[in-house]
Amino acid sequence: MTTEDETRRDETTQVVLVTGATGPLGHAVTARFARDHARLVLVGTDLGRLEALARDARLLAGRHLLFEADLRDRKAVASMAAEATARFGRIDVLVHAVGGWAGGTAVVDLDPVEVRGMLDNHLWTTLNVIAAVVPGMAKRGFGRVLAVSSPLAANPAARGASYAIAKSAEEVVLRSLAKETAGTGVTANLLIVKAIATRDQKGTPPEELAEVLAYLASPGAGAISGQRLAVGSA
């Protein structure tokens, strides 16, 4: 049974949708927002890994939803967002942390399949989730849309065009969205990160990125929108 205190807390705490939730950044973001008692909607491609994440983060029953979903499928994304909204009443924050890299091929040898795969992974997943959640945010007068990009989007390296094309397209989407939602209470921002630290890779610790994302998701960050914020060694 929901107590009066729990109901009051649910009215003030955020509902946060995290895509790419089972990656290193997704783990850190989940843990960070859980500390603020947020209700979490966690999306990934492997339900078992999502369940393990929920256990590791000690998420409380009734305060999180897990979705195994293909974010390239707009209808599936819309259905997922509708279910989450029906359960929690709204979605306040989108942290789009879907990863994926392909490269190593010169521009003259690029396979359209590789480019299309990167666009599907970074551009179309972004467009689909934004289409599913931003109208509700704008209607309620509050929302935060956050994504992670790379310095390569603006300064591509040799033999990395397919990834850079996709990330630059994603950046255009968020920066355009920021202009379109100006004055609505909805903001859109990008973190520019050279590399996220993992067991096998040096970079910016995901916990530090999660702290920045938590601030940008807060009501106090409403004046920040349309920004490319370099974090760490970007």
Domains by residue range for the chain, with CATH: 13-230 (3.40.50.720)
pLDDT for residue 12 is more than 80: no
pLDDT for residue 126 is more than 90: yes
- The residues pairing with 190 across neighbouring beta strands, listed in sequence order, are 147, 228
Would the pTM of this model clear 0.75, i.e. be above it?
yes
User: Rounded mean pLDDT of 99-127?
Assistant: 93
What is the reported pLDDT for 201?
86
> 163-206, pLDDT tens digit by residue?
999 999 999 999 999 999 999 999 999 999 999 998 888 999 99
**Percentage above 70 pLDDT, the chain:** 94
Tokens of 87: 């359960």
What is the reported pLDDT for 99?
86
Residues 6+ apart with CB under 8 A from 123: 166, 169, 170, 173
pLDDT for residue 4 is more than 60: no
> 46-59, pLDDT tens digit by residue?
999 999 999 999 99
User: Rounded mean pLDDT of 29-39?
Assistant: 97
What is the reported pLDDT for 234?
46
Q: What is the DSSP string of the chain?
A: ---HHHHHHHHHS-EEEEESTTSHHHHHHHHHHHHTT-EEEEEES-HHHHHHHHHHTTPPTTSEEEEE--TT-HHHHHHHHHHHHHHHS---EEEE----------GGG--HHHHHHHIIIIIIHHHHHHHHHHHHHHHHT-EEEEEEE-GGGTSPPTT-HHHHHHHHHHHHHHHHHHHHTTTTTEEEEEEE-S-B-BTTB-SB-HHHHHHHHHHHTSGGGTT--S-EEE-TT-
What is the reported pLDDT for 104?
84
